[in-house]
Amino acid sequence: MPRTLHSVCALDCPDACSLLIDVDENGRGSRLRGNPAHPVTQGFLCGKVAKYLDREYSPGRLLYPMRRSGAKGEGRFARVSWPEALSEIAGRLSAAASEWGAESILPYSYAGTMGFLNGAGMDRRFFHSLGASRLDRTICSAAGMAGMTDALGTRYSIEPEQFRHAKLIIAWGANILGTNVHLWPFIVEARRNGAKFYTIDPNQNRTGKLADRHYAIRPGTDAALALAMMHVITSEGLEDRQYVTQHTLGFDDLRERVRDWTPQRAAELTGISAEDIIELARGYATTQPSAIRLNYGVQRSERGAMAVRTIALLPALTGAWLHLGGGIQLSTSAAFQVNRAGLERPDLQLKSTRIVNMTELGKALNSLDNPPVKAMVVYNSNPAAIAPDQNTVRKGLKREDLFTVVLEQFQTDTADFADILLPSTTFLEHTDLYFAYGHHYLQLARPALPAPGEALPNTEVFRRLAATMGLQDPCLKDSDDDMIRTLLDTTHPFVNGITLEELEQKHFVRLRMADPFLPFAEGGFGTPSGKCEFHAETINFQPPVESRSGDKSLLSRYPLELISPKNDDSMNSTFGNRPATDAQTGYLTLHPEDAAARHIAEGDTVRIVNDRGQCILLAKVSPTIAPGVVCVPSVRWPKLAPDRSSINMLTSQRLTDKGGGPTFYSCLVEVQKIGD
């Protein structure tokens, strides 16, 4: 009988859509659509997931466990059975542990799925029991999280539904139409009621083109802009006196601190004129409710944490938090106060093991010692495309003495480096519980489709591996439902009382928080004083080393600033094997002035280069990118490119000021026309 089932989009996207899937009489999915009942999904999907069934039923799906039969990285494999694969992995991990110590084993995963169980469930229990190295999962948002916490003492954000009440909305390093499209209807509604919508971004992308004002900022200079806005606000007395007095600490010091941050000074750094900065600051301070949608673009630069922190102080100055629809949103994830410790069981470690920063995978594989990394298990991630400084990463992955296991749905570049390659289910095929980083609904998904071939969920693979290795703790046998009940077992008021049964029945459940949720209307910051603490003495701006105001000698060789933001039709590398998506990520956009100086015309083949590597792309020439900046959408599958490269051949392993995050968008390069 044809049926319509519920699911949840598991991709690494703030929207965490509630899905409906039509399944025909043979159990085959025939159509995916957004759930109209979900207040944020509102019945529509982004373009890339509306056609997800092509990925689900792709002939490229991995179906069986396989063992490497060719050279490392060559991608040749022969089929083996699950018991053979598991016993080989168990044997190799045990051997590494006894010869080098268990810390020679490194898990490597990120957010291929945002499900709690398949993202951070049985895998964590398994590696903690082994005593493996722990992974610091910094690759996306670590600097921003640190910056928000410095500003607010916590990371609560305003919710998407309330943007409809705003009168001024600023998308600050946020490509809403591309990466967060379910916020857009609320912005449309606000604008219909008279709201203004501004974008602050080096790239005037689709979102910027629809803005009332676009501010073309230079990469990595956002803190300078925020400081100059504070200068205008405080010198003109535009702050909300009452909010500042009641709910903040250190205002007088802050006013002093920003006194020399004149709009002129910031204009020289940011490329935005002093007049524009003054107008923006006045407009922001005097229009309420004002909402800032800060996304992660700002914090992928060298001083990303400070930039986020400085921006996140603005709503406290103007009292925007007081108003329904006012404040700032970076991520709503902090509201999902489930019992993560119960899920992940860090207590299973006999001793606290070393922590390896995933952004520095290249370093970890090539130069980590005591012990070196001898075995790596990769799941939910494609480091041979997405990690910075690819040439170093690949050198590490090629090591003959490194035993690599990859759990994947497709034969990615990373999969090509595997010694054992295991087939994984998609989110349509397994159970999971989902949080969101762009709304406040907890969601449950049950399998809607059968797994193809012998594909298994991550939870089951690690359950079986634990059994094969003879690990004893009873929690290693927990079922998926056991783990969900554990996650819900908490006294935190946002989650307490939500049950598996309720989720089963309703599919999505709002966290038990006030509706609407105004996080700081009455103060309640997560600081020792409960106030927003400015700590002006520690606020500063320094340009990234790799920027036009940075290292002069580097700049003389590599005068252009590279950003590699998300492609509208991609999900990092996840859809890189779709031909249409692959084609979109093969372009580099540069400003007409920079193109002319290099005799580059639209459609030319160009080489983008720095000391770390190079990549061949096709040129687009457009004034939508700020002068001196080049933009390449991230990120393609290197193995499908003619020169087998991606833009991450050029990005560096340098870390952000705080949080240990990556600096993908602080990257100096030169671009040359090929043939010159």
What is the size of the binding site for Mo ion (CB under 5 A)?
1
Side chain identity, residue 44: F
Triad 317, 321, 326: Cα angle to 5°:
110
Stretch binding ligand SF4 (CB under 6 A), from 11-19, 316-324, 513-521, 583-591: 11-19
Q: CA nearest 49: which of 7, 11, 6, 23?
A: 11
Using rule CB under 6 A, residue 200 touches ligand MGD? yes
* Rounded distance between C-alpha atoms, residue 532 and residue 527, angstroms: 7
Determine if 13 is a binding residue for ligand SF4 (CB under 6 A). yes
- For 470-509, b/e burial (b = at least 16 CB within 10 A) is ebeeebbebebeebbbbbbebeeebbeebeeeebeebbbb
- Closest C-alpha to 575, from 120, 66, 182, 47: 47
Judge residue 602's burial from the number of C-beta atoms within 10 Å of its C-beta, 0-12 exposed, 13-18 middle, 19 or more buried. Answer: exposed
Whether 163 and 185 have beta carbons less than 8 Å apart is answered as no
Beta strands in 315-452 (DSSP E): 327-329, 355-357, 375-379, 403-408, 420-423, 432-434, 441-445
Answer yes or no whether residue 424 interacts with ligand MGD by CB under 6 A: yes
Site membership for ligand SF4, residue 111 (CB under 6 A): no
Q: CB of 615: closest distance to ligand MGD in angstroms? A: 10
Reading the block at residue 324, the tokens are: 């329904």
Q: Which residue is nearest to Mo ion (CB)?
A: 140
For ligand MGD, the binding residue among 312, 407, 442, 521 (CB under 6 A) is 407
Shortest distance, position 590 Cβ to ligand SF4, whole Å = 29
For tokens 């007409």, the residue is 592
Residues 127-156 that bind Mo ion (CB under 5 A): 140
Interacting span for ligand SF4 (CB under 6 A) from 12-20, 64-72, 83-91, 297-305: 12-20
- 40: contact with ligand SF4 by CB under 6 A: no
- Cβ–Cβ < 8 Å for 670, 609: yes
| Sole binder of ligand MGD in the list 34, 147, 160, 173 (CB under 6 A) | 173
Residue pair 271/561 in contact (Cβ under 8 Å)? The answer is no
11 binds ligand SF4 (CB under 6 A): yes
> 463: which residues sit within 8 A by CB, 6+ positions away?
122, 476, 477
Our finding on whether 406 is near ligand SF4 (CB under 6 A) is no
Tell me which of ligand MGD, Mo ion, ligand SF4, none is bound by residue 357, counting a contact when its beta carbon lies within the kind-specific cut-off of 5 to 8 angstroms: none
Q: In this structure, how many other beta carbons lie within 10 angstroms of the beta carbon of residue 465?
A: 24
Residue 177 binds to ligand SF4 (criterion: CB under 6 A): no
Q: Determine, following the binding rule CB under 5 A, whether residue 16 of this chain makes contact with Mo ion.
A: no
Phi, psi of 430 (to 5 degrees): -135, 165
Nearer to ligand SF4, 8 or 503 (CB): 8
Q: Pattern 451-470, binding to ligand MGD, x per CB under 6 A?
A: -------x------------
Q: Does 46 bind ligand SF4 (CB under 6 A)?
A: yes
Distance CA 661, CA 218 (A): 20
Nearer to ligand SF4, 6 or 303 (CB): 6
Q: Is 448 in the site for ligand SF4 (CB under 6 A)?
A: no
Closer of 113 and 490 to ligand MGD (Cβ): 113
| Of the residues 93, 142, 181, 451, which one makes contact with ligand SF4 according to CB under 6 A | 181
Between 534 and 563, how does the x/- string for binding to ligand MGD read (CB under 6 A)? -----------------------------x
Q: Does 239 bind ligand SF4 (CB under 6 A)?
A: no
Choose among ligand SF4, Mo ion, ligand MGD, none what residue 359 binds, the Cβ cut-off being 5 to 8 Å by kind. Answer: none
295 binds ligand MGD (CB under 6 A): yes
Tokens of 107: 């898990």
- With CB cut-offs between 5 and 8 Å by kind, which of Mo ion, ligand MGD, ligand SF4, none does residue 15 bind? ligand SF4
Residues 202, 205, 210, CA angle at the centre, nearest 5°?
115
112: contact with ligand MGD by CB under 6 A = yes
- For residue 275, give the 3-state DSSP assignment: helix
Choice between 248 and 570, CB closer to ligand MGD:
570
Interface with ligand MGD in residues 40-69 (CB under 6 A): none
Identify which of residues 332 and 527 has a Cβ nearer to ligand SF4 in the complex: 332
Token pair 């693979």 in the structure block, residue = 461
Report the C-alpha gap between 381 and 376 in whole angstroms: 12
Binding to ligand MGD (CB under 6 A) within 113-172 occurs at 113, 118, 139-140, 172
Backbone φ and ψ for 530, nearest 5 degrees, come out as 75, 0
With respect to Mo ion, which residue has the nearer C-beta, 140 or 455? 140
What, of Mo ion, ligand MGD, ligand SF4, none, does residue 21 touch, CB below 5 to 8 Å by kind? none
Which 494-533 residues touch ligand MGD, going by CB under 6 A? Answer: none
- State which of residues 205, 234, 333, 459 lies at the interface with ligand MGD (CB under 6 A): 205
Query: CA-CA distance, 8 to 236, in Å (whole number)?
Result: 48
Task: Report the distance separating Cα 123 and Cα 116, nearest Å.
Answer: 11
Residues 6+ apart with CB under 8 A from 280: 198, 213, 215, 229, 272
Q: State the residue for tokens 């400085």.
A: 310
Q: Which two tokens stand for residue 67?
A: 């063992």
Residues that bind ligand MGD (CB under 6 A): 12-13, 110-113, 118, 139-140, 172-175, 178-179, 200-203, 205, 217, 219-220, 222, 295-298, 301, 379-382, 386, 407-410, 412, 424, 458, 563-568, 570-574, 634-635, 647-648, 651, 664-665
User: Residue numbers of the site for ligand SF4 (CB under 6 A)?
Assistant: 9, 11, 13, 15-17, 45-46, 49, 181-182
